[in-house]
Structure formats: structure tokens, C-alpha cells
Structure 1
Amino acid sequence: MTNPLLSDQESELTALLDAYQEQFPAAESPITYMMGFGPEQLCTILREANGREIVFSYPELDQGVLDGCVYHYKEAPDEAGRGNPITLQELLYARGLPRTAKTKLVRHRDTSGKLDIHDLYRNHRPAFLDYQRQQGNRVFDKCDFLVACLGEPGSQSRFVGVFQVQGIERETEEHYYYNLVEVPGFADLKERVIFDWGRAAISWHQWLRPEVGKTVLEIQPKPFSQPFTDYLDFTLSFAELTQLVTNQSPRDEWYRMLSATAGVYLILDQSSGKQYIGSASGTEGIWGRWKDYVATRGHGGNVELVKLLATDAQHGRHFQFTVLMTLPKTMTRPEVIKREYLFMKKLGSRAHGLNQKASHEQ
């Protein structure tokens, strides 16, 4: 039975592509990049072109690393012969940020060297949100919304979300704690949009004004900064694994390599030092098994890990994933488990770790 939603989307995509090709007959067809974006996002890109030609590229291809597809709109030259730059405002307003709302831009950047804001955002998100809402002065009192950014080199800034300001939740002698609620609808822009903060780079907050456009410098691929080099060369925090699984397409290197092999893997609980040894087989190999951990907030159905998450639902934030051994996907499940048990014995993950003990070890 045909899904009517899919049919409507296909019809819209066909109409948008026809109109685009009629306007730019010499341009490369956007359908070439379907694998990079998918039909829904490609529709969005075409809708927002607004009469502009779209330029697609693979920025890292010349380095041998297919790091994802990026795009920008080619502006028609104005009367002075200059292009009209894309602004942060037009991206945000097009996705529902009220133009008339009182909105502040905030640029998180620690200059003391004591705090890695990027690590806090990517790997310790609850702590980042707490850092953002905790202020020494009432700087957000007159705001309806915050546009949150991470400071990049120079005056560059990386967009990471829009938050509605719902007043002060509590206050102490030293701090005000604002109730900030993230606004949905901006996920496709988060971490990807790099814009120029402007001359006020010394200030960490400023008003977002419709008439003072913040120039977009780059729209990057879906974020995952770590390139795949070799099966035994990496470790992934649970936050990184979640980001990887939720953002990668079948075209991407991480998906391709991790789904191409079976293997034995290790999960380290960094809060206790205890280890869990697991194995992966089947059609999607290690990728398929690690997807289960993301879908279950970190436990993957493993008995001892389930117990940890029952005590603390966010305990998965302490987990670190790595591959110990790759195995052919043609190997039978009993053969794979045999290697898994060998590593359990070598590393003592049953007696002293997170693998469930055998009956004679209880």
C-alpha cells in the first residue's frame, strides 16, 4: 500500500526540481545529492532557494575523506556588483523565530583556559545547559528568546540552538537561574551554521536585530568532527556515538566501515573503571549493535548496564566505546561469541567488570 505522505513528498520534490532546472538549465541537478541530504531536506533546500542557484560540494573529497556534502546559495550580483550574503536572521526567521521578538545572541567562550565550552556542549550537555542558564546579572530579563552560539576563532560563531526565556526559576546571593526551554525546528542548522559575530566580539551577548544582518560564513555538513581512520584507532563517548548514529547516512564513512564488519567491542564505564565486553554480528555488524545502545539510552539490553541505568537514567554519559577485534561477517554467531568470551577472560570483565557472571561464579 502506498504511503500518501511519501507520495506527496515525491510529488513536491519533482515539481521543485522541474522548476529549478527550468530556471537554471546549465546547473547540476540537485537530485545528484539526494544521498547526502534525503528527499525532505532537499525539498527544504529547494524551497528556500528563492530564485537563487544552489552550489553543492564535498569539501574534504580532495583529502580522501568524504566528510559530507555542503551547499550554499549563489547570490545574483547587486547594482554594485557585489553578492548579497546569507544572514543568520533569514535562516532563523524562515524556521519560525518571530521577527518582532526581543532576541539576544549569546556567544559562549571561556577565555580563562579552565573550561572547554565545546567539550561541555558536545559531551556534557546537561552541564552546558546549566552553565548557560546560570548568570551573575539579570542579562536575560528583557529577552523573549536566546540564540545560543559557541565562540570560534576570531569573530566567528557556531549556532547551537534557540531557547525561549521563561523567567527566573530561582536565585541565590551570587546567581540567577533562568528557565530556558529549547525551541524545536532548528535541528538542521545546529552546529552547522558558522556566522560572523561582528565587531562586538569582545561582548558575549548582543541583541539580534533584523536590520543588522549577521553574515553566514559557512553551512557545514552534519556535525561529526572525528574522521574514521582505522577500527582500532578510536574511542567514542556515548554522546559522540549518539551524534554519529543519529546524523550519519548510508553514504558516510563511519556507517560504511562499522557496518562492514563483525567484531568484539569494549564499553568502559569511566565513572568506575569497570568494563563490559560485547560482540556484534549480523547484516549491519558493529554499527547495527551500537545503534541498539543509542536507542536504549546506553544499556543495549545488557543486564548489568540495565541495572546502572535503572539507578541513574543518564549513566550512559559515562560510557566510552571502542573496538577490540574485527571479525568477518561470514563468521557464525557461536564463533563470534567464542572470541567475546576470550576477551572477557583476558580482561576479567565477568569477575571484576560489567559482564554478567556465569552461574558457577555467582
Structure 2
Amino acid sequence: MHLSSIFKEYGVDISQTKLVRHPMSKKDVRDAFQHGMIEAYQASQSKNCFDNCRYIASFIGTNKTEALFIGIYEMVGIITGPKVKDMMPKGYPHPDHFDDKHMYYKLKKLDIMSDMDKKLVIEWGQATKSWYQWARNDKEVLSISNREEKEFPGYEELIVSYSELGDIVAEEDRYRKWVDALKNVNGIYLICDTKRNKQYIGSTYNDDGILRRWSEYYKSHHGGDVNIKKHLKKYPDAFYDFQFTILRILPKNITEKEATRIENKYKDKLCTRNQVYGLNGN
């Protein structure tokens, strides 16, 4: 599982969000945390690290590379100069954080992902990486305490993002019902590049069903399809915007010939051989 799939589920806009990790290995972080003032600590900065984002997803560095989620915050204003000292809460352990060399970001904690507070743990990466970075730098989720299994919505209702597909392919316990459902049928599927309005139709006709084919897309990004390869050469990160859906369920014992015949009919119906918005070459 990756952090991007959780953000997608909760509607967090990664294009406007930065990830922030406050390492407990630093004494001033530990002091602020122990005084219940970590929000004051992150609000006061010596450089303009948050100026070009609207939200921050905040984490506490629990060891060398892991991070514990503590909330989503929205930027609502900034204070600079002598007035910064007026924002320091009483009893704050490091008054120098609020001198006139610092700026104070007015942050509002949002209810988004509040059920993940102090439950979600991610792998930040090497300790040398910046303590703040854009949310598009995806992170592996290491654990989530007390997270419920997701119900399978049904084949006709199924809409899967690329990042969510990674969680399904990993056969996480949370997606057990989805894995079983996608292994047990073949089908005609549709891949949409939701940002660039491109569509691709394919079919499956193997013993491992739809899941096997979709797993290939997740791992290689293109699944071996020539026109998707060309598309990704032009837009290297486009696979992050891929959306997977099922147009029609096919039986497990369907022949390649019959599956291909039905696939071609859907290509005709949706005009996915059209070079303007289609990614099918034949």
C-alpha cells in the first residue's frame, strides 16, 4: 500500500500538498512534542518552506526513516517580523523559534483523515531526504492500526486508480474480497488517462482472470501495449493518472478468439482506435 492511494480515497489534492516530517531525533522536536506544542513548532519556520502549497500532511519521525501521521493542515495566513513573538504559546520550550528571524504560518487542522491520526505509519525513506517535500513523492505505508477491510463494490461499480491498484495487486488483507473477485472472472476492461482524456480497451482470457492482466499494468505501467508505451514516452508520469474499469464480465473458460472478438466490438463502440483520444492501435 502507498500513501497516494490513501490520499486518493480521502480526496487529498497531492498537487497542493506537502509532506512534513518532524524527527524525534532532534531535541527541540522532542521538547515541543512532550509539551504538547508540536503544532506551534511546525508553524514557526526560519525559511519559507510552505509558501507555495495549500496543505501539509504532518508526520512525526519515530525512528531513522519511519513517520507517524498526526494530521492534515491548511495554510490560512502568514505572520512575519516582530509580531511573530506574539504567536508563541506560554511555556514553549524554545523561545528562539519565535524571534523576528522566523515566520509564523497560521495553520488550521482539518478533519480530513482524522481517523488516521497516530495510526498511520509510513516509510519516509533515507534520512538524508528533505524533511518537507511534495506529496507526489509517494511513500510506502508500513502499518495502519485498526483499519477495516474494504467491501468489493461489484463489477459494474468498480473504479480503480493506479495507486489503489497497487494495494490490490499486493493482495493486502484490506482488499481480500477485491482480489478474489478479480481473479475469478475475465473481462473487457477500460483504461483511462483521466488527465489527458485518452482511453484504451483490452480483454483477458486466462486462468488468473482480470487481476493478472491488471497486475502487469501496475508493475510495468504499460502492460506491453505499444501505444501505451508511446503515450508514456511522451508523458512519463501519466500512469499515475490511469483509471481502471470493467466494461463487461467474461467467463473464465472463454477462448482468446472469442474474447478478442468482443474486445474489438467495444473498440468500435467507443472509437478507441481514434488517434485523438484512443490508445488502441488495432
* TM-score when normalising by structure 1: 0.46
Deviation at 1:117, TM superposition (A): 11
The structure-2 alpha-carbon separation of the partners of 1:165 and 1:125, relative to structure 1 and needing over 3 Å to count, comes to farther
Matched with 1:147 is 67
The structure-2 alpha-carbon separation of the partners of 1:237 and 1:284, relative to structure 1 and needing over 3 Å to count, comes to same
Letter in 2 for 1:274: K
Matched with 1:321 is 244
In 2, distance between residues paired with 1:353 and 1:128?
28
What is the aligned residue count? 199
User: Which protein, 1 or 2, shows the higher relative CO under an 8 Å CA cutoff with sep ≥ 6?
Assistant: 2
- Aligned with 2:196 (options 269, 272, 290): 272
The structure-2 alpha-carbon separation of the partners of 1:165 and 1:241, relative to structure 1 and needing over 3 Å to count, comes to same
Deviation at 1:278, TM superposition (A): 0.6
Matched, 1:259 2:177: no
Q: In the TM superposition, what are the counterparts of 1:122-141 in structure 2 within 5 Å?
A: 130-132=18-20, 137-138=45-46
Deviation at 1:346, TM superposition (A): 0.5
Matched, 1:286 2:210: yes
Percent identity, aligned pairs only, is 25
CA contact (8 A) 2:192 2:242 kept: yes
In 2, distance between residues paired with 1:288 and 1:117?
20
Letter in 1 for 2:7: D
Matched, 1:160 2:112: no
Give the secondary-structure state (helix, strand or coil) at the position aligned to 1:166: coil
The alignment's C-alpha RMSD in Å is 4.0
- 1:219-258 superposed Cα distances (whole Å, 9 cap, x missing partner): x46xxx6421311111001111111111337x92212211
> Relative to structure 2, which stretch is displaced further, 148-157 or 305-314?
148-157
In 2, distance between residues paired with 1:167 and 1:335?
52
In 1, distance between residues paired with 2:13 and 2:204?
29
* TM-score when normalising by structure 2: 0.58
In 2, distance between residues paired with 1:243 and 1:155?
17
CA contact (8 A) 2:189 2:202 kept: yes
In 2, distance between residues paired with 1:265 and 1:178?
35
Matched, 1:233 2:157: yes
Letter in 2 for 1:160: V
In 1, distance between residues paired with 2:181 and 2:217?
18
The structure-2 alpha-carbon separation of the partners of 1:155 and 1:289, relative to structure 1 and needing over 3 Å to count, comes to closer
Give the secondary-structure state (helix, strand or coil) at the position aligned to 1:244: helix
In 1, distance between residues paired with 2:211 and 2:115?
38
In 2, distance between residues paired with 1:129 and 1:138?
20
Deviation at 1:124, TM superposition (A): 8.1
Q: In the TM superposition, what are the counterparts of 1:1-362 in structure 2 within 5 Å?
A: 118-119=6-7, 130-132=18-20, 137-138=45-46, 145=64, 147-149=67-69, 151=71, 152-153=113-114, 156-163=117-124, 165-166=127-128, 190-193=142-145, 218=146, 220=147, 226-248=150-172, 252-296=176-220, 298-351=221-274, 352-358=276-282
CA contact (8 A) 1:264 1:278 kept: yes
In 2, distance between residues paired with 1:301 and 1:117?
24
In 2, distance between residues paired with 1:330 and 1:133?
50
CA contact (8 A) 1:263 1:325 kept: yes
Deviation at 1:305, TM superposition (A): 0.9
